[in-house]
Amino acid sequence: MIRALVLSTALLFTAAGSWAQSPVAEPSASAPAAAPAAPKAWNSLSPDQQRVLQGYQGKWDSLPADRQQALAKGSQRWISMTPQQRAGAQQRFSQWRAMPSEQRQVLRQRWQQYKSLPPERQQQVRESFSRFRQMPPERRMQLRQQWRQMTPEQRHHAAQGMRGAPPPRHVPR
């Protein structure tokens, strides 16, 4: 169970930073290509959306259609948030912007790995993460330290153990 929590936590902690700026999933090779997004006229946005996106007004028509769609969707999501949710989103975005670009790229990749999991596996990861977050801070730190001290092979075995393979024999402390 500890291995499951550590792996789940590692995956979600690394993905958490990217939630403030959710990347668009790339279509898989077996999935049919989606139709390209149609450009969205600035005037088709609600007044609230225009207010949220006012910094884009002058360059809106030059943005790719898929970027326009993503911004419109994000602005609608922002409008529907409570003040507490907005404050949390702003804090996460600030943390995201403060990260080195290499770290943001790793987080994007890990987010894509998470999104590529089957829905049941994603649910398991979310439940493990929830259990981890409910642990006392001292226990969470202990588990993080355990994970950091594992060799890559031990981490791999721990990850495989979550999928039914036997766990590693020894985890250094």
- Give the DSSP H or E segment for 29: none
Range of lowest pLDDT (19-28, 67-76, 108-117): 19-28
Interhelix angle 152-162/2-16, nearest 10 degrees: 100
Does residue 45 lie within any of the structural domains?
no
Does residue 27 lie within any of the structural domains?
no
Nearest to 93 by CA among 15, 21, 22: 21
Does residue 51 lie within any of the structural domains?
no
Q: What percent of the chain has pLDDT over 70?
A: 72
Does residue 170 lie within any of the structural domains?
yes
So what's the pLDDT on residue 40? 85
Q: How confident is the model at residue 34 (pLDDT cuts 50, 70, 90)?
A: low
pTM of the predicted protein model = 0.54
How many domains are there within the chain? 1
Q: Which residue has the higher pLDDT, 155 or 164?
A: 155
Listed as own residue / partner, the contacts of 142-150 with beta carbons closer than 8 Å and 24 or more positions apart are 143/2, 143/5, 143/6, 143/9, 144/6, 144/9, 146/2, 146/6, 146/171, 146/173, 147/6, 147/7, 147/9, 147/10, 149/173
| Cα 92 off chain centre by | 11
Does residue 60 lie within any of the structural domains?
no
Does residue 96 lie within any of the structural domains?
yes
Does residue 97 lie within any of the structural domains?
yes
Listed as own residue / partner, the contacts of 117-123 with beta carbons closer than 8 Å and 24 or more positions apart are none
Q: Please give the residue range of the domain that contains residue 99.
A: 1-19+88-173
Distance CA 130, CA 166 (A): 24
Does residue 94 lie within any of the structural domains?
yes
